[in-house]
Amino acid sequence: MTQGRTLVLSVDRDDDIGWKAKIDSPCIGRAACLEAANTLALTDPEDSDVNAIFSAVKIFDELTANGEDVAIAVIAGNHLHMIEGDRRIATSLAKVVEETGVTNCVLVTDGAEDEYVIPIIQSRIPVSSIKRVIVNQMPNLEGTYYILKKLFDDPKISRMVFIPIGLAMLLYAIAYLLDKPEWATIVVIGVIGCFLLYKGFGFDELVHGVTAALRVSLSRGRFSFVTYTTTILLLIIGLTIGFQNVLIYYSADSSLGLVTYLMTFIYGAFEWLIFAGLVLSVGVIIDVYQNERENLGKVIVFPFFVTAIGLILYAASIYTISIQGVPDFPLSSETISQYILWSTISGIISAVVGVAIQYYVNQKIVGQQKQEIIEVI
Mean pLDDT, contiguous 10-residue spans, the chain (377 residues)? 77 83 87 90 82 90 90 85 82 89 87 70 86 61 59 63 75 77 70 71 67 70 78 87 78 70 80 87 84 80 88 83 69 73 88 89 80 70
| Residue 169, CA distances (Å) to 179, 192, 194, 200, 264 in order | 15, 11, 16, 22, 34
Res 151: pLDDT: 60
Give the phi and the psi of residue 129 in degrees, each rounded to 5: -160, 150
Measured between alpha carbons, how far is 70 from 62 in angstroms, rounded to an integer? 10
* HSE toward the beta carbon, residue 135, CA cutoff 13 A: 13
Give the phi and the psi of residue 330 in degrees, each rounded to 5: -70, -20
Res 202: pLDDT: 67
- 265-300 burial string, b = 16+ CB within 10 Å, else e? bbbbbbebbbbbbbbbbbbbbbbbeeeeeeebbebb
> What is the dihedral angle through the alpha carbons of 199, 201, 205, 207, rounded to the nearest 10 degrees?
-90
